[in-house]
């Protein structure tokens, strides 16, 4: 089946992806409403998998629903909750519905959620998960070597956390993820384009950006309090004081959050090696679309 996200990335066009947390219930109403808002503006939509170690509708079910809405899904799979049998079964189910884009993640720590008696699994890590997808696609077998009746056709993704690289920093982990099968990367929030520029330059120096498409995490902010909370509580988030100050003095913080996001999207697009942005702003779906349009990167333009 056709994969519009892969086509958009391979075309060299600067892309926008967004994220939806599946509903806490057995109906698609909120998912449908959010997806309809995002649909005109993005190349694909991520569906989180037990984000925050909390119970939600499965990423697989949500991804199937979006596929039926003619929206390209990126299904997230965490290694925290399922063993290799369950994960491979879910991957085959996804492939059967034409879901090719899968983001391999470790998963948030159980202590972050409200199911304190839950047991973590971690039968393997995210790099092993990438290898599974490569094996199913290229070798037409399960991880143990059992032949599949039909090969999958995954376009696997890895997660990354940008940093301000020291003189001796090298992108070894990213190179390992590429070797395991990753084709594109989605990153944690990075609101500092100077740091991002230095980071991407190092990746360019090591040839990593020639091997992987990089989609940088951003999103419209609600308030200065929201920005501070993200900086202090979301691991790997890069949130400079200058952004927080702009939000603090803004008369209309949400409008300012959209403007900041749009400006940073434009700046990111000028950095060599950046292929797009991944906009994460739970509940701010209209603001996400507004930021993409203001930046000039909405598919609707």
- What's the whole-number mean pLDDT along residues 270-297? 97
Q: Is residue 261 part of a domain?
A: yes
CA–CA distances in Å: residue 138 to residues 143, 154, 155, 181: 12, 9, 11, 10
- pLDDT tens per residue, range 2-51: 799 999 999 999 999 999 999 999 999 999 999 999 999 999 999 999 99
- pLDDT tens per residue, range 145-175: 999 999 999 999 999 999 999 999 999 999 9
- We report the CATH number of the domain holding residue 198 as 3.20.20.220
Domain count, the chain: 1
Tally of CB atoms within 10 A around 297: 23
Q: Is residue 300 part of a domain?
A: no
**What b-and-e string marks burial along 68-78, b requiring 16 or more CB atoms within 10 Å of the CB?**
eeebbbbbbbb
For position 1, what pLDDT does the model report? Answer: 56
Q: Minimal CA–CA distance to 155: which of 175, 135, 134?
A: 134
Q: Is residue 301 part of a domain?
A: no
Name the residue range of residue 127's domain. Answer: 4-295
User: What percentage of the chain's residues is helix, strand, coil (to nearest 5)?
Assistant: 45, 15, 40
Q: What is the pTM of this model?
A: 0.96
For position 2, what pLDDT does the model report? Answer: 76
Percentage above 70 pLDDT, the chain = 99
For position 300, what pLDDT does the model report? Answer: 63
Q: Is residue 274 part of a domain?
A: yes
Q: Is residue 94 part of a domain?
A: yes
Q: Is residue 72 part of a domain?
A: yes
- What's the whole-number mean pLDDT along residues 294-300? 87
The whole-chain average pLDDT of the chain stands at 96
- pLDDT tens per residue, range 67-90: 999 999 999 999 999 999 999 999
Pairing label, strands 184-189, 274-279: unpaired
């Amino acid at each position: 089946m056709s994969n519009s996200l892969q086509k958009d990335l391979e075309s060299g066009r600067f892309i926008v992806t967004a994220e939806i947390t599946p509903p806490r219930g057995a109906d698609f109403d909120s998912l449908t409403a959010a997806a309809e808002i995002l649909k005109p503006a993005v190349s694909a939509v991520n569906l989180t998998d037990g984000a925050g170690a909390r119970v939600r509708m499965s990423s697989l079910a949500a991804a199937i629903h979006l596929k039926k809405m003619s929206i390209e899904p990126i299904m997230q799979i965490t290694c925290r909750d399922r063993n290799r049998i369950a994960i491979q079964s879910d991957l085959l189910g996804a492939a059967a519905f034409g879901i090719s884009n899968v983001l391999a993640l470790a998963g948030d720590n159980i202590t972050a959620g409200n199911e304190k008696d839950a047991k973590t699994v971690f039968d393997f890590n995210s790099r092993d998960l990438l290898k599974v997808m490569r094996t199913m696609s290229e070798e037409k077998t399960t991880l143990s070597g059992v032949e599949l009746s039909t090969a999958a056709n995954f376009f696997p993704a890895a997660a990354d956390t940008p940093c301000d690289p020291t003189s001796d920093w090298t992108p070894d982990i990213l190179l390992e993820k590429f070797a395991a099968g990753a084709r594109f990367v989605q990153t944690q929030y990075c609101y500092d384009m100077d740091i991002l520029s230095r980071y991407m330059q190092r990746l360019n120096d090591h040839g990593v950006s020639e091997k992987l498409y990089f989609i940088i995490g951003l999103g419209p902010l609600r308030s200065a309090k929201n920005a501070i909370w993200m900086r202090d509580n979301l691991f790997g988030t890069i949130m400079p004081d200058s952004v927080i100050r702009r939000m603090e003095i803004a008369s209309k913080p949400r409008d300012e959050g959209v403007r900041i996001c749009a400006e940073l999207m434009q700046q990111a697009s000028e950095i060599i090696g950046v292929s797009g942005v991944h906009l994460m702003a739970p509940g701010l779906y209209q603001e996400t679309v507004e930021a993409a349009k203001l930046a000039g990167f909405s598919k609707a333009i």
